[in-house]
Amino acid sequence: MQMTAMAEGTCLLMIDIQNDFCPGGALAVAGGDEIVAVVNRLQGRFATRVLTQDWHPADHSSFAETHEGAAPFSIVQMAYGEQVLWPRHCVQGSHGARFHADLVTDTADLIVRKGFRSAIDSYSAFFENDKKTTTGLGGYLREREIGHVVLVGLATDFCVCYSALDAVGLGFKVTVATDACRGIDLDGSLGAAMETMAAQGVNFATSETL
């Protein structure tokens, strides 16, 4: 089936397609590398393309190893609320933080780096986890006269979901291309994320049915 071009006012938002989230990485998402070819095919349909990149300092507070005795995937309370403690990943300048080698990146209009403040994590492409500190992406898309955001990437139940919900909150029409995403599914987090996104008005499609 041949893909047709999307409207000018639509952006393809590609979330965290990085080595550490792909098989062999520090926080690998099962099948994470499988989406790369689909995302590359989709890029030609969009006039506006944005990449996000997890970009943590080595001592980031979301890393389990920075909390004495804490286990990876345990939950702690931060000043901004609950925080999952992750294995060390996507450290600035590291191989794990680089985009997957097969991902086409030179067509991107913008790369948004997030999670670079050591005291606060950042799942969403739009806000850090305090829900106040903005990345500036919302304003960028508005100035580009974008009204519809199509999300792909890793992981469905965390950074994709948080980005989708924040995009809805900012007034964008939002679609998640499910075959171009993969989830972690931490204690049922994938099903919960899908339900939450649907309840908040996020649309779902595949790369062929967009």
The residues annotated with a catalytic role in the active site are 16, 114, 159
Strands 75-78 and 81-84: antiparallel
CB 83 within 8 A of CB 77: yes
Closest CA to 204 of 145, 159, 161: 161
| Rounded-to-integer distance, Cα 182 and Cα 179, Å | 8
Strands 48-54 and 10-15: parallel
| Rounded-to-integer distance, Cα 96 and Cα 94, Å | 5
